[in-house]
Chain A
């Protein structure tokens, strides 16, 4: 009976790992046209916009929560085929839209919801996302990528 239980455990762990490996990530990033913030959410302004020093906390949060998919520099595509956060298509979005996307995620495309972070910490992430753009020298980054 004990042998059966052990064998069963091993099979279940192996099944979880294999299914996970097959379904855990997107194969390639393509923008999802249906992933749009409602108008009222998109119109929200960042309460930390006048506190640029809060971006340092945003950087720490970015490295804790985002780099696994988007990479250290936010370019994304190099690692898990996630969104390139430096793309103009991302950077032209309003603070409110980015906040809404961080909060809700896009679960069918592999982006989890980060509503577990306090609101202000999500706004700190938005603040840092804006700085990512400034950190990248134009000649090292092809915005069309």
Chain B
């Protein structure tokens, strides 16, 4: 089953490269910066995380689809649908998430805060690892994990700066499981990135340096109020990131993450494809007979 998923994702990547050539997308997979979706635009994204196993684990692939909509220039809403397939086990739907990001300040500052609030309706088989607060259970079978539901509220403080061509971003998160008492869990993510070229060339080119953004991110858990706050009981990763804008509306992202301790998967291979539908809100309003 997981091989079928890999084939589908490879087909999507090939499809992306066949499109003709948009706004620079953040290359981060886990870290958020302060740039929100442009108002009225819809971004459709599909990402996957492949977990390379330790000796007592199996390889898994955890794909998710993300619909990101710019409600206003200060508010972006996202819906996630996620799944997971484990070699020698099964493929399961692991839930959905609804995420909102708000930009409280009107202007750009040295440090730009964004407030993030997310509701998750997932189960214990979830392995997309969009945020890390502890370490996922990678040894129990899906049949045992899937029935255990996790309804969680997650809040993040996103701080981000644009320094010349560089973006530097830091996220601090706290998560509360509403399904059972796990206390408040904490995590972090930091990243920096920059495009390979500061100037845009006059030609429409696919392999121009300006179409590539490179950087690195660091993310991991900081424990919980129940088990104690600290670095010890959670996975931590360091990951180079690269995004390639293959067309006007599409970009491809890739990031291999390496574990800094013995928890979780030793290596996570992450990749994704995003496609932006410009003026989606406007088109929808026209379709519904609303104002133009």
Q: A-side interface residues toward B, CB under 8 Å?
A: 5, 8-9, 12-13, 16-17, 19-25, 27, 53-54, 56-61, 64-65, 68, 80, 103-113, 115-121, 124
Contact = CB atoms under 8 A, between A and B. Distances in A.
Nearest to A81: B292
Which of B73, B81, B96, B98 is packed against the most chain A CB atoms within 10 Å? B73
Main secondary structure of the interface of A (DSSP, over half): helix
A139 to B, nearest CB: 27
Interface string B63-101: 000010111111001010100000000000001101000
Interface residues of B, number: 55
Contact of A113 (B41, B108, B204, B248): B108
Contacts of A80: 40, 279, 282
Given A5-B96, A112-B39, A103 B108 contact: yes
Given A64-B23, A107-B103, A119-B164, A21 B108 contact: no
Interface stretch (B49-57, B129-137, B171-179, B195-203): B195-203
Nearest to A34: B106
Interface stretch (B2-10, B183-191, B231-239, B283-291): B283-291
A118 B194 CA distance: 8
A24 B202 contact: no
A68 B279 contact: yes
Given A9-B79, A110-B73, A119-B165, A53 B106 contact: no
A130 to B, nearest CB: 16
Interface of B: 22-24, 26, 33, 35-36, 38-41, 67, 69-74, 77, 79, 81, 95-96, 98, 103, 106-108, 121, 162, 164-165, 167, 194-195, 197-204, 210, 248, 278-282, 284-285, 288, 290-291
Given A21-B284, A64-B23, A118 B96 contact: no
A5 to B, nearest CB: 7
Contact of A23 (B26, B35, B72, B194): B72
Contact of B198 (A27, A105, A113, A121): A121
A116 B24 contact: yes
B170 to A, nearest CB: 17
Nearest to A121: B200
A47 to B, nearest CB: 11
Contact of A108 (B40, B74, B200, B279): B74
B209 to A, nearest CB: 11
B221 to A, nearest CB: 27
B166 to A, nearest CB: 9
A54 B77 CA distance: 36
Contacts of A20: 40, 69-71, 77, 280-281, 284
A21 B198 contact: no
Contacts of A25: 39-40, 281-282
Nearest to B95: A5
Nearest to B279: A68
Contacts of A8: 96, 121
Which of A56, A59, A64, A109 is packed against the most chain B CB atoms within 10 Å? A64
